[in-house]
Structure 1
């Protein structure tokens, strides 16, 4: 047992419980921090009148992960945890997302998996999931599956093992098939193997929501084989043998309570949570290599 973070309030009063390594999912591990720290933008303090010293980035990241895991509101982030105020964490999340930290971290983690031959490029799977959007904002719309209530959609593409490759946020009324090509475009160039970086699977699997011949032709034009179920046909096509990995990936994503309901008015903040969650899921896959 060693000290790695602030005290956690004991349910019987006081703050007498010491956290152990891995005890709380919002405590940033040394391995994850070594990958993130070089990506964070540096801000020089003024020589004259520097003001109050800012909260260290690692503690702020713990606060962001605390909100992501628990779903707590920013203003209710407990100050005794030592993660800084909710507004401080919100601003860092906004700035780091704008600087592309989560995108570069995701590409780095995918490259590590690709080096170990743990990315399945033989196929990719796409699907979407609807979440309610209770506070307004952009990229929301009346959901056809939730009695017209306002919501947003998470569009996800994974490799054959279920590792997230890219995620997109749209309004709840956006048809799934409209995001098929944007998802393929959003796959980053993944390094880690000899030759050019790879960003194209051999086959793309999708359900009936993606059934459209125009999009099949567009997929074929990229030299990708479309394996998309057709409407009006009987169930039992066998695609579920391959598609279940994206359903599991959504279960992993929505295991982060902040992603079960969209509480952010600003779409970029919710999208930042989405990208950070994809990084954490991919990091778990990297940890399984050891």
Structure 2
């Protein structure tokens, strides 16, 4: 049963992508010590925590990884940007297969409560001022997440437009050079500022940002509903619905892993 669960969480095709990204084990200079835990078992345990939302201390022993080892390895992999690299690697595979539509990109954000506070948090304007974080997502036309980020819940959405677009990765394409520039950028009224429109036009991106007091509300979701679906995909990983990590980079690590797993599900079989 455990083997079936592990294979469902981390199938062979996914592990083939992950394995080259894992930093090699470095033995202690003085020698000795216990044998290192299996990398795949550790990665599977981390995916289980992300998927189930369980606390680290409730990690089932059946994965063959102790709680301190799993958390220590997770922290090290966040520091080494393993989950960001995984996200980009899967995007490259999607691009090579012609599965990324660069006709337009879509930008949106969602707030989550931060139970224990910590870095990258702030008083949430939608949760009576309680500590929270905000998840920012930039997807391609069909909702595949290209860039994800975390900020305090009191961060205005508009301040993240330029950093998110600037962070677009140069992704492989089926033919020709790598691509990182969408034809258009779609966003809601929270990003309605002329400086952003000018900034986008200077970079050859056509702004399609809803205008406050002009565009009808019943038409605002005509194209942008896909980014809301993407955020629902990401928060479907239960660890993303409420932030328990005190360190913002750890929550961001889980977010990058969730984005990578979401992209992996879109790979052609």
- TM-score by structure 1 length? 0.88
Give the structure 1 partner of residue 233 of structure 2.
252
SS where residue 266 of structure 2 aligns?
Answer: helix
Structure 1 residues 141-150 or 169-178, which shifts more? 141-150
Gaps of 5+ in 1: 1-6, 9-18
1:181 pairs with one of 162, 167, 174: 162
CA–CA separation in structure 1 for the residues paired with 2:205 and 2:82: 30
Gaps of 5+ in 2: none
Structure 1 residues 220-229 or 42-51, which shifts more? 42-51
Specify whether residues 149 and 208 from structure 1 end up closer, same or farther in structure 2 by C-alpha distance, changes over 3 A only: same
1:57 pairs with one of 18, 39, 43: 39
Structure 1 residues 179-188 or 91-100, which shifts more? 91-100
Give the structure 2 partner of residue 73 of structure 1.
55
Give the structure 2 partner of residue 32 of structure 1.
14
Q: Supply the RMSD in Å over aligned alpha carbons.
A: 1.7
Report deviation, 1:111. Answer: 1.5
1:266 pairs with one of 247, 253, 257: 247
CA–CA separation in structure 1 for the residues paired with 2:137 and 2:101: 16
Give the structure 2 partner of residue 42 of structure 1.
24
SS where residue 151 of structure 2 aligns?
Answer: strand
Kindly indicate whether the alpha-carbon contact (under 8 Å) linking 1:130 and 1:154 is maintained by their aligned counterparts in 2: yes
Kindly indicate whether the alpha-carbon contact (under 8 Å) linking 2:122 and 2:132 is maintained by their aligned counterparts in 1: yes
Looking at secondary structure, tell me which structure has more helix per residue: 2
Report deviation, 1:26. Answer: 6.0
Give the structure 2 partner of residue 138 of structure 1.
119
CA–CA separation in structure 1 for the residues paired with 2:246 and 2:8: 24
SS where residue 282 of structure 1 aligns?
Answer: helix
Report deviation, 1:241. Answer: 2.0
- 2:263 is aligned with 1:285: no
CA–CA separation in structure 1 for the residues paired with 2:119 and 2:48: 25
Kindly indicate whether the alpha-carbon contact (under 8 Å) linking 2:6 and 2:44 is maintained by their aligned counterparts in 1: no
Which runs of at least 4 in structure 1 moved beyond 6 Å after TM superposition? none
Larger Rg: 1
SS where residue 53 of structure 1 aligns?
Answer: coil
CA–CA separation in structure 2 for the residues paired with 1:242 and 1:86: 43
Report deviation, 1:48. Answer: 5.5
- Count, aligned residues: 269
- TM-score by structure 2 length? 0.95
